[in-house]
Chain A
Amino acid sequence: MDENVPMFENLAGSTWNVKRGHVGIVDRRSGETVAELREPGQLELSSSQAKLRGAVAARARAVKASSYSEFLSCLDQGIAAIEAYLNRRASLWNQSNQNDQLIDSRQQRVSFDDKIRKWVPRMTGSPFPLGESFWDHFKKLRQVRDDDSIHPKRESYTISLEELACLINMFRTGVCELLIRLHLAFDDVVPAVLIRARFAPNVVVTKKLSQKALCGRYDRGHG
């Protein structure tokens, strides 16, 4: 469809809620229908963007409820968004490079780090900048996810609000900045949801004002 209406997906977004009718996703090269829906449901054009939106919603819940488990959900989906983006790029590469395939299968496992270190430069023709802070932040957040979400090692744990705020803020660089850098490396348009997530305001620990104190502020005209 975007052949006829340039950047159509920017107007419509990547998630479609379908109430009736018949919609499908067609591979323009092969003409093959990748996915279709003939009944009410949801159609997702970008798995990466869908995961990122889920991560951003979980981050908002983590802040609202000061919740570490919501933050872990945010991390799960944020890192999955990066993996989805990399796999999508590899799939596009494989379509046009029949003699130089990038394969990640059960028989031939490729680690996430190798995809970043080896696959990305192979596809873009340029080294990917791993010496910057976003890569250290990503590794730190991935460790948190692995230890407390994917393979929980601790029966019980503590985390201070200050630590939680620090981790939530690190999501902007460790996940969002890394994903932005990947989009730039491939000269892809950076989705709005990703830019907003990257430049979200700082999360801070605050002492909530009581209702009485709040009313006092408004009464004094400082609301």
Chain B
Amino acid sequence: MPSLQFEERISRRGSREMILMFAKHGELGASKRFASEHAVRKLFRSIGGNLDDIIEK
């Protein structure tokens, strides 16, 4: 019987947009908000990570 289902993953573009939306405009539980994708990438690098690694491929 056919039914509806959420796909398991969102697109790579969607993941990227979502992360940036959280970082630039969302609630981070802190007062600091990030002005650009560059600033978000810098934050990820500063904690030894890479933004691209957590974006769905």
Contact = CB atoms under 8 A, between A and B. Distances in A.
Interface stretch (A100-108, A133-141, A204-212): A204-212
A202 B5 CA distance: 8
Contact of A161 (B3, B8, B22): B3
A6 B31 contact: yes
A3 to B, nearest CB: 13
Given A199-B14, A199-B18, A66 B26 contact: no
A198 B10 CA distance: 11
Interface residues of B, number: 24
A190 B8 CA distance: 25
A192 B26 contact: yes
Contact of B2 (A191, A199, A203, A207): A207
A161 B2 contact: yes
A168 interface: yes
Chain A contact residues (Cβ within 8 angstroms of B): what range?
Answer: 20 to 34
Interface in A175-193: 180, 183-184, 189-192
A25 B27 CA distance: 21
A7 interface: yes
Interface of A: 6-7, 10-11, 62-64, 66, 161, 164-165, 168, 180, 183-184, 189-192, 195-196, 198-208
Interface of B: 1-10, 14-15, 17-18, 21-22, 25-31, 33
